[in-house]
């Protein structure tokens, strides 16, 4: 918890004193049935309305229905609120709400020293200790030393608050998360009205449920007010956000919105072929609700059929796309190569997760970069783009679609689990900010050659079935230049290979040059890509605050690289490359530019902490 | 401008590409039959799309002067599904083989059929891998000696028609490459069907599996071994003087191959009804094999059910009717939004 004045600290103030905080990270943790995701999202929405900048990250249990009270069954939601511009959900929570011993056990190790723990003591029973694999009561065995612990018999006080409610005991107990939320609202001086309204709307058909939850929310607030449990209330002022309309958005929803926007801006109907896979399935879910925008979603029989159907749709003149994660990308490789060979547009959303093989589906990683680059037979380059934040997924999707149709090429977009599920406020664009790229299919019969090319982009004409006089055949066999007939001619194969590569390389002419944040030359550049942007940004800021001279740049296009990348790399004595993989971008940079970059790989299935990168920066600069 | 369909001839469907199958290959006959039937369908040729996978048969699109897509091994039904679903105005024909459709692409075939995507799927069954030069295929008989089974195959083969019936295909037929009249008639009937239509075409690979179907296709065998299905007619076959029929034994639920005459008449045989909603009898017929039974040729099943592509279009239309066609503004400015004013105040 970063306080305005470091001397002011939680618990050190006089009763009910209002204390300003610059930012705070709160983690709600409980059993998957405890409603922690709802609690977290409500706290988030309310904080948005208070005007805080914020960033959130849910942590779902790996198993769908792990036994209640066990470690694998723990579900958590982390939210960081601030009175200033922030880019990540924060490294370590300052406040942990733990609904049972398992939630405490799983999350305590992340808590900041001297952090606040709020416990539901009703769940701290011998039986639950056993379920959580604990030998002793963590309240008594010293585990909680160094933290400020607040014990609340949450189940008891919830039941007491609901004495008059017609609900049965089980339903009453389900309201305890709102009691806890009410307490947090008191502690962080949030208004209750938005949540009250939300509950009324959500349970319009079950007014007794709405009523019970509202009662608990208010009871939680009053409990703090009356008992004086916390002797201090905190206030996080609103951040100076750019004027505009905002909504909270996660990466997968942003990809869906970006895709539909691309469909409208190109004038092409959207066709998504997909096969359910964590953490990409939400993209399929979202687009399935957008049918009235002319969206077709096809849940295929497998990953291969999903991409093949998208290619078929592209052949017919649709904006064909598919969504998957690493193992699915592997299965799609041959079909993506077909799209590359027949030069049809295709957008492949790959929401990366920890691999190899099934790996850790719910954990994040950036380890499919080389798969996206090289995971196909033959010489098969294609454009690769990576969004840098949940909201940026919207823009990246739009850009990927645009390049795909302009260059008649499959494009891979690399998001990851962290972006997919993480959320942040998004200032909605003015519709005029969105680029138009209307697609015109080829219609000229005279002189039609399926593999002739646009002078600038080298794209071949998109001549769709149904156009009289343009009947032609395409396929995965090597094409003769211009005619597209099958050809085994050696010179032609060289030429076509070069043309396909050049077409991708030329995308660099239409993408923004790499921008350097900070001095454009110097001792150290931290170069990242994809979802690490927020953390790197924060780390570089922190290092600068300590007086270090360090610059930062972030790659959006991994293929082709922006045309000034080599020059930027050469302008720094050292280039530090943090990435959530074994050093894949570093490998590319070394191979492409013979640049001796400093690789900082991490594969723990979770994002970098800011302090980790700050430490590396210091190591590079040889300061303590 | 659409092509005038009244003047289309066979040659309009022949592309300028040299046909490269082995001389004597059964694929030539199938190509010729389809090129003959196509002009009769009254469909502008730019609306015809031929999609194939990999294998000898899959070279087919190159020889048809329509839109064509020679895709990857086994995936033609999936690619065709995407095309037909997003472009229901097109007529999409899939050309595949026994290896392509039943081995590497088995999954896509059964799912296209169960969904009832409005595709015409022609499976050229030569019971061998031709393009890779002679390995056994999923339809090769047990004991088959090939390059990859030098001491005989031990795999139990698929019967393609049974697979299609099992997958719930709404139309299933079987024909033979060189039975041109029968083949063309089958293709015509298939073209008329709304929904997935699957045709197994027995095809001779004279290089790697010559004579695989000679028990049926040899001149003297055609009448004795072929059961030519006709809707509403009894299941009878065989040359004059040696007529036989198939009778259903109600207790064992087996088909009996009986000689006609001597008190057993055509009327006693099962009357063929290709429109039966349940596929049980079609399945019995599909499984009929020599030497005990004749080979059933013609339409084994034809039922009406909603097409997948039609349902997709309908669902989108329904949603648009209910919710409007949506604007980008509605799309982006949906969900919970809030406004930050220039003075920093916030409104919902
Ligand atoms: S190998 Fe057999 S199937 Fe292939 S073209 Fe030659 S004869 Fe026809």
SS3 A249: strand
Q: Which of B68, B71, B323 sits opposite A476 (nearest CB)?
A: B71
Mean pLDDT to the nearest integer, A489-497: 98
A206/A181 Cα distance (integer angstroms): 21
Q: Is residue B112 within 8 Å of residue B81, measured between CB atoms?
A: yes
Provide mean pLDDT across the span A541-557. Answer: 97
What is the separation of C-alpha B220 from the centre of its chain, rounded to a whole number of angstroms?
A: 28
Asked if domains A247-428 and A516-620 share a fold, the reply is: yes
> Closest chain B residue to A50 measured between Cα atoms?
B346
| Contact present, A291 and B315 (Cβ < 8 Å) | yes
Q: B86, A291: Cβ pair inside 8 Å? A: no
The chain-wide mean pLDDT, for chain B, equals 96
Please, what is the angle between helix A36-50 and helix A176-187, to 10°? 30
Greatest CA span in chain B, whole angstroms?
Answer: 103
Residue of chain A with shortest Cα separation from B345: A51
CA–centroid distance, B296 to ligand 1, in Å, is: 25
Question: Residue B207 C-alpha to ligand 1 middle, in angstroms?
Answer: 6
Q: Whose CA is nearest to atom 6 of ligand 1?
A: B22
In the prediction, which pLDDT does A9 show?
42
pLDDT at B228 over 50: yes
- The CA A488 to ligand 1 mean position distance, Å, reads 20
Residue scoring higher pLDDT (A59 or A139): A139
- Among B120, B159, B166, which Cα is nearest to B139's? B159
- Say yes or no: CB of residue B207 within 6 Å of ligand 1: yes
| B194 closest CA partner among B110, B291, B37, B306 | B306
Q: Report how far ligand 1's centroid is from the alpha carbon of B167 (Å).
A: 28
What is the predicted pLDDT for the residue at A6? 37
Give the residue, out of B18, B30, B56, with the most ligand 1 atoms within 8 A of its beta carbon, to mutate for a pocket test. Answer: B56
Q: Do A465 and B46 touch (CB under 8 A)?
A: yes
- Measured between beta carbons, the chain A residues lying within 8 angstroms of B47 are 465-466
The pLDDT score that the predictor gives to residue A65 is 75
**pLDDT score recorded for residue A62:** 72
pLDDT value of residue A1: 53
In chain B, which among 200-219 make CB contacts under 8 A with chain A?
none
Helix (H) or strand (E) run with residue A425 in it: strand A423-427
Predicted confidence (pLDDT) at residue B309 exceeds the cutoff of 90 = yes
Question: Across-strand partners of A440?
Answer: none
Rounded mean pLDDT of A185-212? 96
Q: Residue A30 to residues A61, A81, A178, A589, B219: CA-CA distances in angstroms?
A: 10, 21, 13, 43, 78
Look at residue A174 and give its three-state secondary structure: coil
Residue B344 has pLDDT above 90, yes or no: no
Which residue lies with its CA nearest to atom 1 of ligand 1? Answer: B130
pTM: 0.95
Architecture in CATH for domain A516-620: 3-Layer(aba) Sandwich (3.40)
Task: Give residue A15's pLDDT.
Answer: 56
User: Can you give the pLDDT at residue B198?
Assistant: 98
The beta strands (E) that lie in A32-178 are given as 53-59, 74-82, 95-98, 116-120, 148-152
pLDDT band at A66 (very low <50, low <70, confident <90, very high): confident
Which helix H or strand E contains A401, and what residues bound it? helix A392-407
Q: Is B25 in the pocket of ligand 1 (CB under 6 A)?
A: yes
Question: What residues contact residue B194 under an 8 Å CB cut-off, 6+ apart?
Answer: B118, B304, B307
CA-based nearest distance A483→chain B, Å: 12
Q: Which residue of A has its CA nearest to B321?
A: A292
In A227-286, the residues whose Cβ lies within 8 Å of chain B are: 238, 240-248, 257, 260-261, 264, 269, 271, 273
Kindly report the CATH number that applies to the domain delimited by A10-236. Answer: 3.40.920.10
Contacts for A107-111: CB closer than 8 Å, 24+ residues apart: A107/A27, A107/A29, A107/A74, A107/A76, A108/A138, A108/A143, A108/A144, A108/A147, A110/A27, A111/A27, A111/A147
Nearest in space to A497 (alpha carbons), one of A456, A462, A441, A458? A458
SS3 A351: strand
Distance A66 CA to ligand 1 centre (A): 56
Taking the CA of residue B262 and the nearest CA in chain A, the distance in Å comes to 53
Q: Which residue of A has its CA nearest to B20?
A: A486
Distance CA B63, CA B15 (A): 5
Q: pLDDT tens digits, residue range B236-259?
A: 999 999 999 999 999 999 999 999
| Domain covering A247-428, topology | Rossmann fold (3.40.50)
**DSSP track, A495-525:** HHHHHHHHHHHGGGGGSPPPPEES-SSEEEE
Average of per-residue pLDDT across B90-108: 98
Q: Are B142 and B334 in contact (CB under 8 A)?
A: no
Query: Residue A11: what pLDDT?
Result: 42
Preferred mutation among A242, A316, A344, A424 to probe B, highest tally of B CBs within 10 A: A316
Q: Do B69 and A475 touch (CB under 8 A)?
A: yes
Q: Which residues contact A271 (CB under 8 A, 6 or more apart)?
A: A295, A296, A298, A309, A310, A313, A314, A318, A319, A320, A321, B82, B85, B86
pLDDT for the residue B7: 87
Mean pLDDT of all residues in B59-78? 97
Q: Mean pLDDT score of chain A, rounded to an integer?
A: 95
A296/B316 Cβ within 8 A: yes
Record: contact A290-B71, CB cut-off 8 A: no
Q: Is the pLDDT of residue A214 over 80?
A: yes
> Cβ contact (<8 Å) for A240 and B344?
yes
Q: Which B residues 65-104 touch A at CB under 8 Å?
A: 65-72, 75, 78-87, 89-90
pLDDT at position A184: 96
Sign of the dihedral through C-alpha A565, A567, A571, A573: positive
Residue to probe by mutation, ligand 1, list B25, B57, B128, most atoms within 8 Å of CB: B25
pLDDT band at B2 (very low <50, low <70, confident <90, very high): confident
With a CB cutoff of 8 Å and minimum separation 6, the contacts of B70 are: A473, A474, A475, A476, A477, B52, B58, B59, B61, B62
- Does A341 score more than 90 pLDDT? yes
Contacts of A315 in chain B (CB under 8 A): 69, 79, 82-83
A464 vs chain B: nearest CA distance in angstroms? 8
Q: Please state the φ and ψ torsions of residue A334, each to the nearest 5 degrees.
A: -65, -40
Does the pLDDT at position B174 exceed 50? yes
B269-282: buried (b, 16+ CB within 10 Å) or exposed (e) per residue? bbebebeeeebebb
Nearest one of A202, A224, A579, A68 to A367, comparing CA atoms: A579
Three-class SS state of A104: helix
* For chain A, domain boundaries: 10-236, 247-428, 442-509, 516-620
* Interface contact B329, partner A, CB < 8 A: yes
Size (chain A), residues: 624
Indicate the helix (H) or strand (E) that contains A427.
strand A423-427
CA of residue A485 to ligand 1 center, whole Å? 21
Nearest to A277 by CA among A368, A384, A401: A368
- Residue A552's beta-bridge partner residues? A517, A526
Residues 31-60 on A with a CB inside 8 Å of B are 45, 48-51
- Choose among A49, A296, A335: nearest Cβ to B85: A296
Q: Are residues A338 and B84, on separate chains, in Cβ contact within 8 Å? A: no
- Structure-derived torsion over alpha carbons of residues B297, B298, B301, B305, reported in degrees to the nearest 10: 150
Question: Where do runs of H (alpha helix) occur along A228-365?
Answer: 251-266, 281-288, 303-315, 326-342
- Interface contact flag, A305 B107, Cβ < 8 Å: yes
- Average pLDDT of the segment spanning A334-339: 98
- Closest ligand 1 atom to the C-alpha of B24? 7
Say what the ipTM of the complex is.
0.97
Q: What is the DSSP string of A178-245?
A: HHHHHHHHHHTT--SHHHHHHHHHHTTT-HHHHHHHHHHHHHHHHHHHHH--SSEEEEEPPP-PPSEE
CA distance B67 to A349: 29
Q: How many CB pairs under 8 A join A and B?
A: 213
Q: Is the CB of B130 under 6 A from ligand 1?
A: yes
CB contact under 8 A, A238 and B319: no
């Amino acid at each position: 918890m970063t306080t305005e004045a470091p001397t002011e600290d939680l618990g050190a103030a006089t009763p009910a004193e209002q204390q300003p905080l610059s930012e705070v990270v709160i983690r709600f943790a409980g059993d998957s049935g405890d409603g922690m995701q709802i609690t977290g999202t409500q706290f988030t929405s309310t904080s948005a309305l208070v005007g805080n900048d914020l960033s959130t990250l849910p942590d779902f249990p790996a198993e769908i229905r792990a036994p209640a009270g066990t470690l694998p069954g723990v579900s958590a939601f982390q939210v960081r609120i601030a009175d200033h511009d922030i880019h990540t959900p924060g490294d370590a929570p300052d406040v942990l709400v733990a609904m049972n011993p398992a939630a405490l056990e799983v999350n305590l190790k992340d808590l900041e020293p001297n952090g606040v723990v709020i416990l539901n003591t009703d769940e701290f029973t011998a039986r639950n200790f056993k379920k959580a694999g604990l030998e002793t009561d963590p309240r008594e065995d010293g585990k909680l030393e160094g933290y400020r612990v607040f014990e609340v018999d949450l189940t008891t006080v919830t039941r007491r608050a609901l004495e008059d409610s017609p609900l049965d005991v089980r339903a009453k107990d389900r309201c305890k998360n709102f009691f806890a939320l009410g307490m947090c609202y008191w502690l962080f001086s949030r208004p209750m009205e938005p949540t009250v309204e939300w509950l009324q709307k959500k349970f319009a058909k079950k007014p007794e449920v709405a009523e019970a939850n509202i009662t608990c929310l208010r009871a939680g607030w009053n409990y703090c007010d009356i008992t004086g449990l916390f002797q201090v209330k905190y206030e996080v002022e609103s951040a100076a956000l750019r004027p505009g309309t905002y909504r909270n958005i996660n990466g997968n929803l942003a990809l869906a919105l970006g895709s539909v926007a691309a469909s409208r801006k190109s004038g092409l109907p959207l066709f998504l072929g997909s096969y359910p896979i964590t953490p990409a399935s939400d993209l399929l879910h979202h687009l399935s609700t957008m049918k009235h925008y002319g969206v077709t979603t096809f849940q295929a029989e497998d990953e291969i059929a999903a991409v093949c159907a998208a290619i078929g749709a592209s052949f017919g003149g649709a904006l064909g796309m598919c969504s998957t994660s690493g193992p699915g990308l592997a299965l799609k490789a041959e079909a993506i190569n077909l799209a590359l060979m027949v030069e049809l547009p295709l957008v492949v959303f790959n929401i990366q997760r920890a691999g190899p093989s099934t790996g850790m589906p719910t954990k994040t990683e950036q380890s499919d970069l080389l798969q996206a680059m090289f995971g196909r037979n033959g010489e098969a380059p294609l454009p690769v783009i990576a969004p840098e934040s949940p909201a940026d997924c919207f823009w990246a999707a739009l850009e990927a679609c645009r390049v795909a149709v302009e260059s008649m090429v499959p494009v891979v977009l690399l998001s990851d689990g962290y972006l997919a599920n993480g959320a942040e406020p998004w200032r909605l664009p003015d519709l005029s900010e969105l680029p138009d790229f209307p697609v015109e299919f080829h219609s000229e019969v005279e002189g039609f050659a399926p593999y002739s090319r646009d002078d600038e982009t080298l794209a071949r004409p998109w001549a769709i079935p149904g156009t009289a006089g343009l009947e032609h055949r395409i396929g995965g066999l090597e094409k003769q230049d211009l005619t597209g007939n099958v050809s085994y001619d050696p010179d032609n194969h060289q030429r076509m290979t070069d043309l396909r590569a050049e077409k991708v390389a030329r995308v660099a002419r239409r993408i923004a040059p790499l921008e350097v944040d900070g001095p454009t030359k110097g001792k150290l550049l931290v170069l990242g890509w994809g979802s690490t942007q927020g953390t790197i940004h924060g780390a570089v800021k922190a290092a600068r605050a300590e007086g270090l001279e360090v610059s930062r740049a972030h790659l959006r296009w991994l293929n082709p690289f922006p045309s000034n990348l080599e020059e930027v790399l050469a302008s720094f004595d050292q280039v530090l490359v943090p990435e959530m993989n074994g050093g894949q971008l570093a490998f590319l940079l070394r191979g492409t530019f013979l640049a001796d970059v400093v690789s900082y790989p991490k594969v723990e299935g979770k994002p970098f902490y800011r302090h980790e990168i700050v430490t590396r920066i210091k190591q590079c600069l040889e300061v303590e | 401008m659409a092509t005038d369909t009244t003047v289309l001839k066979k040659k309009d469907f022949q592309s300028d590409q040299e046909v490269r199958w082995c001389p004597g290959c059964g694929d030539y006959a199938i190509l010729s039959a389809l090129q003959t039937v196509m002009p009769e369908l009254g469909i502008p040729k730019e609306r015809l799309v031929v999609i194939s996978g990999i294998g000898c048969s899959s070279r087919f699109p190159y020889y048809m002067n329509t839109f064509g897509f020679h895709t990857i091994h086994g995936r033609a039904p999936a690619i065709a599904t995407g095309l037909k679903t997003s472009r229901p105005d097109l007529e999409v024909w899939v050309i595949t083989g026994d290896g392509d459709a039943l081995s590497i692409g088995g999954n896509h075939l059964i799912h296209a059929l169960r969904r009832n995507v409005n595709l015409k799927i022609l499976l050229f069954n030569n019971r061998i891998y031709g393009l890779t030069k002679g390995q056994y295929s999923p339809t090769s008989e047990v004991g088959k000696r090939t390059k990859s089974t030098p001491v005989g195959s031990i795999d139990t083969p698929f019967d393609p028609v049974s697979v299609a019936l099992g997958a719930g295909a709404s139309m299933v037929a079987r024909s033979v490459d060189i039975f041109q009249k029968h083949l063309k008639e089958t293709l015509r009937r298939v073209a008329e069907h709304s929904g997935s239509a699957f045709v197994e075409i027995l095809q001779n690979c004279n290089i790697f599996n010559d004579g695989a179907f000679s028990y049926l296709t040899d001149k003297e065998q055609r009448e004795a071994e072929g059961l030519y299905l006709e809707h509403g007619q009894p299941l009878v076959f065989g040359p004059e003087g040696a007529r036989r029929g198939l009778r259903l034994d109600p207790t064992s639920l087996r088909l009996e191959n009986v000689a006609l005459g001597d008190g057993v008449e055509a009327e006693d045989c099962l009357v063929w009804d290709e429109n039966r909603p349940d596929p049980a009898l079609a399945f019995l017929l599909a499984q009929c094999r020599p030497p005990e039974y004749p080979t059933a040729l013609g339409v084994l099943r034809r039922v009406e059910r909603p097409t997948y592509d039609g349902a997709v279009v309908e669902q989108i239309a329904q949603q648009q009717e209910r919710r409007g066609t949506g604007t980008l503004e509605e799309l982006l400015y949906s969900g919970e939004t809030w406004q930050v004013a220039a003075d920093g105040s916030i409104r919902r």
